[in-house]
Each structure stands twice: as structure tokens, then as C-alpha cells.
Amino acid sequence: MRRALVAVLGALALVAALAPPVAADYGDPSRQGPLQPMTFPVVGPVSYTDTFGAPRAGGRTHQGQDLMGTKMEPEVAAADGVVSFITLPEASWGYSLTITGDDGWSYHYLHINNDTPGTDDGRAPMQYVFAPGIAKGLRVTAGQLVAYMGDSGDAETTAPHLHFELHDPSDTPVNAFASLNAAPRIDTPLAPPAPFPRLAGPDRVATAVEASRAGWPDGADHVVLAAGDRYAEALPASVLAAKQSGPLLLTTGPTLVDAVRQELTRLHATQATVIGSVPTSVDADLRSTGIGVTRVGTANAPVTTAAAVARLVGAPDHVAVLVNQARFPDGVSAAGLAAGRGWPILLSNTTAVPQGTVDTWRGLGVTTTYLVGGTVVLSDGVAGLAPGRIRLSGPDRYATSVAVARESLRLGGRSGDETELATGSAYPDALAAGAYAAHTGGIVVLVDGSGHFSDGASRDFLSVMGTETSAVDVKAVLGGTQAVSETAYWMLAAMLGRSGAPSS
């Protein structure tokens, strides 16, 4: 009997030795990890038990806690800190990110969503993986949206969950169970602090009004009013606005737009120069508010209108800027240079210079002409006719924008500390950029508003400016999300190390 009992006890001891570790005692906080202050990392209902240290395949142990929930539940920053690591994706972890807090503790988010909503396709567009602009180096605030719950990596056969790890400053994983239990929960992810203002409204007219509000908070006596759908008229008009120290406003339709009327009242404007294709009925609306009206140019005749504006502006230093009237991106870039120095913008075609332009530069005594754009935009034949030609160009619209910005800085009187960003994809929200940048003493740089990284030249320029001519400080983005998407906006913020405050 004794031998049998010893045998049984021996067998039980062997089983105990081979058994997996016993789960933590939920009533014993000392076995559930330290109480590290944090914000609960998921917004929405989740369930979890203490599985830290549980055995896993290959002799591993579980180094975190699995917060079980539903796909696309918002995952938020557990602490103030910097995104220090991202995978895109990895076979085991899937999509993941790490936030290193200001105190050195780090918070790890694994198995982030990889599916298009409503599917299990593993092909989610990035807006369903990470929050807009999340990238390595971006500073985040506790409670800020960073990603969405999913089942990427080796979690494809399990329910959606966040594998959440807490590491101490030595990068040693610690049990986060007690900290999660104590963490306050939020009902809505916090909006990230804006790294730089977005000057935008629901349309081009409202965006120009917002630029006016930002640039002329104390008002302006004189404004220039151009048609919002005639960029070849609006861009030369930006130089006139700069000369008169007032904003460029836009209008559409046969009557004065209410938003513009309200802005004129706020500015206490007394004079308006109306350009080209703005309907004459708008003149009457302006006069009814007590504003004096001067009309310049001819409807639907951009070359003639640009020439008329140029005669009012003059040609300081005998310099003019020549752009292709059908290529708005180079025109937007040119407006930043021309308006900042008071040089007239004249219009050309790709292979021929209109006689009105030739007559104007002769009449103004132009001896130096900046051609903005490459030979595909303004041919060598056009360049050969331009007095004292200087070509500013690159292989694409963004490289041309950078060439113009560099020249603006080289000439002096402009600062990279007042950089304004505008989309290179569509002209409407970018029309007011030239006059605004001229007033603030800054430069205009075009960016890919879609966030598809076609603006490599602009990104390179912005990222290295701190070691070159002038430090870069983006003061504003002109345009709404249709012009510069949230993804593009936050990617630029991450690249510049900006998210409300500099990254430490």
C-alpha cells in the first residue's frame, strides 16, 4: 500500500512538473504587474483575462494581454509619447506599432486590422489600418486615435483582438493586467493636436476667405476680387493684391457670394479691384455696400487681363514672371515668387508667346524674365523670345515648386519660417496662396494632396531645410481635405516631426 501511495505521489509530482504555469491569482495584485499609469488602449467593449506568461508554441510564453473585441474598434495611445516602431506588416505580429512614452515605458500594439471593412480580405487600405498620418517619429497624446483593432499576422484564425504589451524602460515585458484594470477609459478618441493650421472652407471661395482672415486679422482697405474658376486671371491678380497690401478674394456666379460680403465687412474694406471675368453685376453689389470699384481686364481674355494687371503693377527691377496659362501648378508656384517681389505674371502658351504678352514686357521695359516650368511647359522657342530668361524648373510640378522656393529664398526677403503648403493636384484651393505668402513674408511649396508620395522633391526640400538656407516652419496648409487629405496632412506632420509640439 505504501509503495502504491509513493508511486501515485511520484506520478502526481511528475505531472505537476510538466504542467503549464498556473495563471496569476486575480486576488493577488502583486502577481498582476505594476500599476503603470495609462489610458485604456481601446475605445469600446472588450474582454480579457490575465494570460501573461501563458505557454505558447515553440516554448514561448505570452508576453502581453489579449483584449478581445471587434474589428475596427479604435485603438488609442496609452500615454503621451512618440511612435517609435511600426511594422507594415510582419508575418507573426501583422500590422503593429510601438509608442515610447515620455517616461521611457513602451506600449506595444499587435495584430492591427488588415481587412477592408466588412471583409476578411487582408487587403485593407491604409486608412483602415492606422489613423491618418501615423508614422515613426510622430508625437502622440494619450487617448489619441492611432490604429484599429483586427486580426493581422498569425491572429487570422482567432477573433479580432489587440495583443497589448507593456515594457519597462529596460524594454523588459511586464504584466499589464493591473494597469489595464486601473486605466481610465474614454468614450471617444481624442483629436490629435493640429501641427499647423489648415486654412480651408467648403469651397474655393471660402478657403480664400479663411486665408484673408488669417493674414489680415486687423482688416485691409483694399481687396482684389477674381473669378474662382479662372486661375489664369486669379494668379496674376495675386501680385496686384500684394502690391495693395490686401487679400485676394474669389467669387462665383452673377452676385457677390455671402461669405465674401461678410469678409469685406470684417475687413472694413473701402476699395475693390475686380478682375476680368467677374460678372459686372457683382460691381453693383459691391457699390451697394459702399465699396469703390475699379475694374481691370476683359472677360474670358486671360492674356489681355494679365497684361492689364501687369501695367498696374509695373515691373520692379525690370523683372517679369512668365507661366503657361494652361498649367496651373507652375502658375501657383510662380505666384508665390512674383507676389512676394511685386513682379508681374505674364501668360504664354507652350510653343508661342501671345502678342499681348510681348507688347507688355516691351512696354514695361522688362530685361529679366523668369520662366516657370520645363521645356514641356514653356518651349525653348518661347524661352528664346523672353528677355534675359532664367528658367526655374524640375522634372515634375513639385520639383519646379522647389526650384521656385529656392530662388525666392536666395533672392532674400522671404523666409522658410513662413512656409505655406498648397496642393499640386488641383488649383481652386491654391489660388489665394501667392497673396497670402507675400503678406506673411513666406514661400509656397506644392505637395501631393492625395498622400501618394508623388511629391518627393517637396518632401526632400522640406525635410532638409533645417540644414540649408533657412529653417522650415510650416505655418499653414491651404485647402480642405479634398485638396490636402487628412492622410497627406498627417504624413507631412510626421515627416517634419510635428504633432502639436516638437518630438522630444
pLDDT value at 433 more than 80:
yes
Q: What is the pLDDT of residue 499?
A: 54
Q: How far is CA 360 from the centre of its chain?
A: 39
pLDDT value at 154 more than 50:
yes
**What's the angle, vertex CA 21, arms to CA 17 and CA 26, rounded to 5?**
140
Q: Look at the block and give the residue holding cell 525635410.
A: 463
Contact status, residue 209 vs residue 217, Cβ threshold 8 Å? no
What is the spatial distance between Cα 332 and Cα 236, in angstroms, rounded to a whole number?
10
Contact status, residue 162 vs residue 109, Cβ threshold 8 Å? yes
pLDDT band at 258 (very low <50, low <70, confident <90, very high): very high
Report the relative pairing of strands 319-324 and 345-348 from DSSP bridges: parallel
Tell me, what DSSP letter sits at residue 20?
A: P
Q: How far is CA 36 from the centre of its chain?
A: 34
What is the spatial distance between Cα 100 and Cα 258, in angstroms, rounded to a whole number?
49
Query: Which of helix, strand or coil describes residue 497?
Result: coil
What is the spatial distance between Cα 393 and Cα 471, in angstroms, rounded to a whole number?
23
Buried b (16+ CB within 10 A) or exposed e, 162-192: bbbbbbeeeeebbbbbbbbeebeeeeebbeb
The pTM (predicted TM-score) of the whole model is: 0.74
What is the spatial distance between Cα 46 and Cα 136, in angstroms, rounded to a whole number?
27
Q: What is the pLDDT of residue 467?
A: 45
Residue 333, φ and ψ in degrees, nearest 5: -60, -45
Domains and CATH numbers, the chain: 33-182 (2.70.70.10), 198-495 (no CATH)
For residue 415 the three cell numbers come to: 523666409
Average pLDDT value for residue range 465-484: 77
pLDDT value at 466 more than 80:
no
pLDDT value at 374 more than 90:
yes
Q: What is the mean pLDDT of the chain?
A: 89
Residue 296, φ and ψ in degrees, nearest 5: -130, 130
pLDDT value at 450 more than 60:
yes
Q: What is the pLDDT of residue 134?
A: 87
